[in-house]
């Protein structure tokens, strides 16, 4: 079963992150690199990416002629995806355990961040929709 583990945050969370000290950032990055290696070594790793700042996000809708309209405004409360991992595991419980590891990534002062990680199953294709 494939699952996606998603880290999200509001603009306020991103603003706080921007104030982290160099040491705190380095510690967090070191954790993420080691965590990625751990996933690869245990054979569950599929993909991981980190996303750019919410200030550069655009919301696009198709106009009448199919043109891209990008005038969307995001509410303050919107949660932006910060990054994700896709893993291939045997059970949802295994995915939750791995999500908990990600949630324990060090934050300011090296303390576990406790960031909530949303866990969702990744569908294999249209067959999962009965098509």
**Quick check: helix, strand or coil at residue 2?**
strand
Residue 49 exposure: Cα atoms within 13 Å on the Cβ side: 4
Does 83 interact with another protein (rule: CB under 8 A)?
yes
Which residues 6+ apart lie within 8 Å of 103 measured at CB? 112, 113, 114, 115, 116, 117
- In whole angstroms, how close is the CB of 120 to another protein at the nearest point? 7
Q: Which tokens sit at 122?
A: 């990744």
Does 87 interact with another protein (rule: CB under 8 A)?
no
Does 32 interact with another protein (rule: CB under 8 A)?
yes
- In whole angstroms, how close is the CB of 118 to another protein at the nearest point? 8
Helices 92-103 + 22-41 axis angle, to 10: 160
The number of angstroms, rounded, from the C-alpha of 66 to the middle of its chain's C-alpha atoms is 30
- In whole angstroms, how close is the CB of 6 to another protein at the nearest point? 7
Does 43 interact with another protein (rule: CB under 8 A)?
no
Residues that bind another protein (CB under 8 A): 4, 6, 29, 32-37, 39-40, 45, 48-53, 56-63, 66-70, 72, 78-81, 83, 96-97, 99-100, 103, 119-120
């Amino acid at each position: 079963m494939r699952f996606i583990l998603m880290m999200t945050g509001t603009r306020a969370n991103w603003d706080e992150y921007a104030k982290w000290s160099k040491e705190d950032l380095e510690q967090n990055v070191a954790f993420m690199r080691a965590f990625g290696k751990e996933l690869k070594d245990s054979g569950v790793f599929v993909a991981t990416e980190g996303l750019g700042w919410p200030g550069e996000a655009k919301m696009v809708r198709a106009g009448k002629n199919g043109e891209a309209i990008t005038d969307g405004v995001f509410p303050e409360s919107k949660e932006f995806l910060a990054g994700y991992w896709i893993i291939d595991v045997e059970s949802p419980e295994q995915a939750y355990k791995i999500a908990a590891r990600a949630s324990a990534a060090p934050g300011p002062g090296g303390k576990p961040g406790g960031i909530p990680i949303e866990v969702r199953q990744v569908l294999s294709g249209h067959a999962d929709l009965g098509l």
